Amino acid sequence: MAVRAGLAVLVVAGAAYAVRRPLLMSAPACLAGRWHGCGDTENGVLFLMFLGLPPAAVLVWALARHRRAADAPAAWRASLAEVGMVHGTAPMVWLTLMPGPGAGAVPGRVSLVPLRDLVTMGPLGIAGNLVILAALGFFAPMRFAALASLPRVLAFGAGCSALVETLQYVLRLDRVSSVDDVLVNAVGAALFGVASRRWWRTAAPVPTEQSHPAPARAD
C-alpha cells in the first residue's frame, strides 16, 4: 500500500507540474491569507488542494500508525481511503458550490432534460465534471465494503451529485442545476472506482458452524 501511495503522489505531482502556471497565479493571494483571489477562484482552490498534500500525507501516516498499534486490519488502506476521500472531494464540491455573480438575486434554475446540456459542455466541461467525484469513487469502495460494487459506486456518485445540485438550487448560487451534471459526475465516480477495483474492501467472512470444530464428547 505504501508503494501505491507513492505512485499516487507522483501522479498528482505530475498533474500539478502540468498546470503549475494557472495555479501559481493564485499563489500570492493564498499565501497571504486573502480570500479574494484565492478561495473564490478555481485556481486558488486547486492551489490550496495541492498545497495540502503534504499535511494529508502526514495524516495518512499518523492514522495508519495508530491503527497498526491497535492491530486493526488494512491500516494503510483504510487511512489512505479516508484522507483521500475528504482531501480529494471537498475542494471539488466547493468549486461546484462557488457562487456566481447573481447569487442570492436570481432564482434557482434547473435543466431536467437528459443529454441536452451535455452537447454544450465541450471536452473541458465534460472532463471537469468527470473528476468532481473522482476521489470519492476511487477511495469509497476501498474503505466501505458496502460500496464495493460498480452499480453501488455509480448510485452513490449519483446520489452525492444530486445533493450538490439540490444545494445549488436551494442556496440560489446563480448556477444551473442540471441532470446532465449528475449523470457525468456519477459516471466519473464509477470510472475512477474501476481504477481502484483491485483494492476494494471486502466484507469479513461470517463464521459458520462448519468453521468451528465440534467439541469432543466424553465417553
Secondary structure letter of residue 177 according to DSSP: E
> In this structure, is residue 192 part of a structural domain?
yes
Q: Please tell me the predicted confidence (pLDDT) of residue 20.
A: 74
- CA separation for the pair 196, 186 (Å, rounded): 16
> In this structure, is residue 42 part of a structural domain?
no
Q: Which residues of the chain have pLDDT under 50?
A: 205, 219
Q: Please tell me the predicted confidence (pLDDT) of residue 153.
A: 98
> In this structure, is residue 193 part of a structural domain?
yes
> In this structure, is residue 15 part of a structural domain?
no
102-133, pLDDT tens digit by residue?
Answer: 999 999 899 999 999 998 999 999 999 999 99
- CA separation for the pair 139, 137 (Å, rounded): 6
The count of structural domains within the chain is 1
> In this structure, is residue 18 part of a structural domain?
no
Q: Please tell me the predicted confidence (pLDDT) of residue 37.
A: 92
Q: Please tell me the predicted confidence (pLDDT) of residue 1.
A: 56
> In this structure, is residue 71 part of a structural domain?
yes
53 touches 12 (CB < 8 A): yes
* Sequence-distant (≥ 6) Cβ neighbours of residue 53 within 8 angstroms: 9, 12, 87
Q: Please tell me the predicted confidence (pLDDT) of residue 25.
A: 87
Q: 18-26 contacts: CB < 8 A, separation 24 or more?
A: 19/46, 23/47, 23/50
- Residue range(s) defining the domain that contains residue 74: 52-204
- CA separation for the pair 182, 154 (Å, rounded): 10
Q: Please tell me the predicted confidence (pLDDT) of residue 201.
A: 87
Q: Please tell me the predicted confidence (pLDDT) of residue 22.
A: 77
